[in-house]
Structure formats: C-alpha cells, structure tokens
Amino acid sequence: MEEVRPQTRPQTLPIQQALKTRFALGARLALLSAAGVVASIHPGAAWIERSYVNGGYPIWQHIARAIAAPFPFSLGDIVVLALLAFFVLSLRRGLRGLFDAMLVLLVAYAWFEIAWGWNYARAPIEARIGTFDAAAVNPHAVAALRVKAIAELNALAPLAHARESAGYDRSALRTAWLPIVRALGDRWNPHVGAPKWTIVGPFMALNGTEGFINPLTLESQLAPDLLWFEVPFDLAHEWSHVAGFAREDEANYIGVLTCLRDPDPIARYSGWMSVLFALPPLPRYAKTTFTPLVWSDFAAIRARNAHNLNVAFARFSWGTYNHYLKSNHVASGIANYDEVTRLLLGIPRTRAGLPRVTVR
C-alpha cells in the first residue's frame, strides 16, 4: 500500500476551500439570476389562463397540498419563519451577509409569484364568461337584493341555530364549491380541506382579518375568533384563492354562491349574512327588520370586535394590504371586497345556482 505523506492532506485543503467558495458563489449567482428573471416577468392574461392557471399551477397546488396536508398546523408558518431567520442572521455577516439577505428577499418574492402571485394577472371573471350584464347592476337591483337577504336571514336563522352544536358540513361545502370554480374557468380539481392552525391567529383577531392563504404553501387559515355562522363563507372564500381566484370580489362571489348552493342551513345563513354585509350600508334598520335571532348574531359580531379589535393596528394592517392589492392589478384595493355585489347582480345563474357562462 502506498504511504500518504503527511503534508499531502494539508496542501489539498486550500484547493477544496476554493472550490467550495466558487461553487457557493456560483450557486448564489445562479439563484439570483433565476429569481431576477421571474421577478421581471409580467405574463399576459391569455398565457396565465392557458399555461399557468390551467397548466403549471394545478401541478404545484396538488404537490403543495400533499406535502402540507398531514400537518395540523400551517407548514407555511415554518417556511416564513425560516426565511426570516435566514434573513436576520445574514445581516450579521457583513457584506456577504447583506448580499445573502437581499437574495432571500428576491427568492421569496419569486417563490410568491410562481407559487400563487401570477393569479393576479388572470383576466377578471366578468371579462371571461361572456354573460356579465352591467345594466343589471343598478340601485333598484341592489335594493331588491337587500330585501332578499333580509328575508333569507330571518327564515334561515332558526334552522341554522338548531344545527349550531353539530357545526357545518365541510364535505357538503366542498361539493357545492367545486362546480363553481370549474364553471368559472378551472379545468382541474383543486385539492382543499380543513383550515390550518397558524401562529398569526392572535394578530388576525386584533386587526379583524377573517382568513388568508399562505401563498408559499397554499394553506388556508381562518381567524380563531370567527363565529360559527361565519366559518362556511370564509372557508369557501379562502378555497377560492387556492383555486386561482386572487381577486377578493371573485373569492367573495364564489364563497357566496357556494353557501347558497349548499343544502346546509348554516352555510346558507353564512352566505346571506355575507351578502348583506357587502351591500352599501343603511343608516339604520328598524327593530322589526330582523328576527331576534338575527339581531343576537349581529350583537355577537359587535361584541367580538369590541373585545378583540385594535383600531390602530387594524388601520395600519388594512392600509398595508390596500397598497398590496393595488400593486397587484386590483385598482380599488380593499374596496374590492364589496365589489362582489356587481358580480352577484351582473352574472346570471342557472337553476343549479351556477354562474351562466357562454365563453370558455
């Protein structure tokens, strides 16, 4: 056997270290270039619909769901915390650390865009279905919808309250939801399920956020202080984001139709409650407008908000989200939530409660 001289091993270390340094630098530059390319791309609506929403995105959504589903908590929380930790630690390592920190931000942004953010470039529903009637959106129709919502709430309240202890049927909710997203352009079946526990739950209660999806892992989270009759609509809303409908009015629209199609009275009550809250507010309602059960639910909402909501934090966070929406092709910002009324009035529906579509 050939004997290895003692000086051989130390002499190879500088070469190995140089190779490792060059490899690390090359990997950083390659990652930076790839992330930069993704961040600079602004795909058109036609490509988004054909190749992203109904192309690559469904594959990623199914993979993300398969990975995250076994965890009872939000895997996205772990991802975000890891990115934040790497960012903070990088800042403590001088110039190279600053480069790495900037790289983390760019990679996170590119991940957001590829994983979900490109859904904002999808053409609005009313431009894609061929049946939207702008003339149907008028003050008379709004008033009629308000009357309908009030009547439905009064009729459904005792039925929904009778099932409060049993809770809503999530399986039935998904059954009502899936045909809607397919009618509106998804040529695939999104995989959705129960909302996940998240570490930001207390902050959601503080600013009045009812739910969100983590765009990096496509998991749905709901606020821990939601009332039982709020959950079906909010969950269907978040599922709709997962299905590629990024605009808030469209997620609200799908959430409402889902609840109204669901035979579960809790879901239907949840849907009509959301319709009422999306309409332009009236100065006051007469005491006889709603039954005592409905009034008690309104009181429960007010009590919850009075106890949990921090006005200053809510203004700051919703102001930030307003800028975020406007930077992502939603010109009206957070006002987009209430624009669901346009879709409810302007899009005709079939007897099955599905949006009537003539263009695919």
How high is the pLDDT of residue 2?
Answer: 47
Mapped onto helix, strand or coil, the DSSP state of residue 56 is helix
How high is the pLDDT of residue 35?
Answer: 66
- The stretches in the chain having pLDDT less than 70 are 1-37, 39, 360
How high is the pLDDT of residue 93?
Answer: 78
Q: Assess contact for 225 and 247: CB atoms under 8 A.
A: no
Q: What single-letter DSSP state applies at residue 287?
A: G
**What six digits make up the tokens of 251?**
């997620």
CA angle 282, 238, 156 (to 5 degrees): 50
Residues written for the chain: 360
How high is the pLDDT of residue 177?
Answer: 99
The tens digit of pLDDT for each residue in 191-242 reads 999 999 999 999 999 999 999 999 999 999 999 999 999 999 999 999 999 9
- The whole-angstrom separation of Cα 51 and Cα 45 is 10
pTM of the model: 0.89
Q: Assess contact for 112 and 215: CB atoms under 8 A.
A: yes
Q: Assess contact for 185 and 49: CB atoms under 8 A.
A: yes
- For residue 2, the tally of other CB atoms under 10 A from its CB is 4
Phi-psi region at 188: left, alpha or beta (left = phi > 0; alpha = psi -120 to 50): beta
